[in-house]
Amino acid sequence: KLKQASLMSFFSKS
Amino acid sequence: MLEGKFDEASLLKKVIDAMKDSVKLCNFNCTENGISVQAIDDSRVLLISLLIEAGSFEDYRCDRNIVLGLEMESLNKIIKNGNASDMLTLVAEDSPDALNLIFEDKRRDRIAEYSLKLMDIDQDFLKIEDMKFDAVVNMPSAEFAKICRDMKTLSESLQIIITKDSVKFNSEGDFGSGSVVIKSFTDLEKTEESVRITLEKPINLTFGAKYLNDIIKSTPLASQVTIKLCDKQPALFEYQLPSGYLRFYLAPKFED
């Protein structure tokens, strides 16, 4: 089963 | 004060059309260099990065940095009222509560003026470092759009597999499966038809078909799309503007 990743796990808030 | 005149409204029409289904509220940051936007969709899977450089305008001036908080659907309603071939001027005061849009037809016998109320939008700004990519594909944007549409009829996910000189788009659905393979190809007469693959490491990534089908709404903006991929990283889809770009960062799907 595939799970959609979130962009928040790759990019940090500035 | 901001005053930016497009020779044709069509550029902004296409840009807003490409963004409006993915993001509802956007801060348009206006500086002396041009207008930029960073916006993330509600599910935090797709990030849009827009840069319309001053060079995309026929005339452009922005004395002080201005943030225009815009509701995309409202902006789209107004933008649609102008003709694609009209000249379009965006005007805003230094501390504006509205954005004025002026459409003039080329014969200058018809001027339509609209005012759009601005909103105070509190949005996260994500830091996107210089990303490293293992594979870069340049291909006709219309071809990419057709593949995304076709593959979505089969499955909610689209797998992109890149080996030395080919890109395979693969879709495994409940009632069947399908794939399209694109190979490197140089068309010397029509360079916009070419496919170029630059590969450092083979790629096998899966993305949500729904998001890809939002991204391809940018197709009218550019004849080519650039797809940059790296293992276990968000992909970058880029459409070049005459001076600037519209980029989409899309988070992949993983095995749970």
- Tell me what pLDDT residue B53 has: 98
Q: How far is CA B180 from CA A2, B88, B158, B241, in A?
A: 21, 40, 11, 28
- Tell me what pLDDT residue B119 has: 96
| B239 vs B256: CA distance, rounded Å | 31
ipTM of the complex: 0.96
Looking at residues B84-90, what average pLDDT do you find?
97
Q: Order of strands across the sheet with B87-92?
A: B59-62, B2-6, B87-92, B98-104, B111-117
| B68 vs B191: CA distance, rounded Å | 37
B206 to chain A: which residues are within 8 Å by CB?
2
User: Packing angle between helix B72-81 and helix B10-19, nearest 10 degrees?
Assistant: 150
Q: How far is CA B8 from CA B41, B102, B140, B219, in A?
A: 28, 12, 24, 18
Of A1, A7, A9, the CB nearest to B249: A7
B125 to chain A: which residues are within 8 Å by CB?
13-14
Asked if the model's pLDDT at residue B231 lies above 80, the reply is yes
- Tell me what pLDDT residue B149 has: 98
* Cβ–Cβ gap B252/A5 under 8 Å: yes
CA-nearest of B56, B47, B42, B44 to B14 is B56
How many Å lie between the alpha carbon of A14 and the closest alpha carbon of chain B? 5
**pLDDT digit string, tens, across residues B131-163:** 899 999 999 999 999 999 999 999 999 999 999
3-state secondary structure of A7: helix
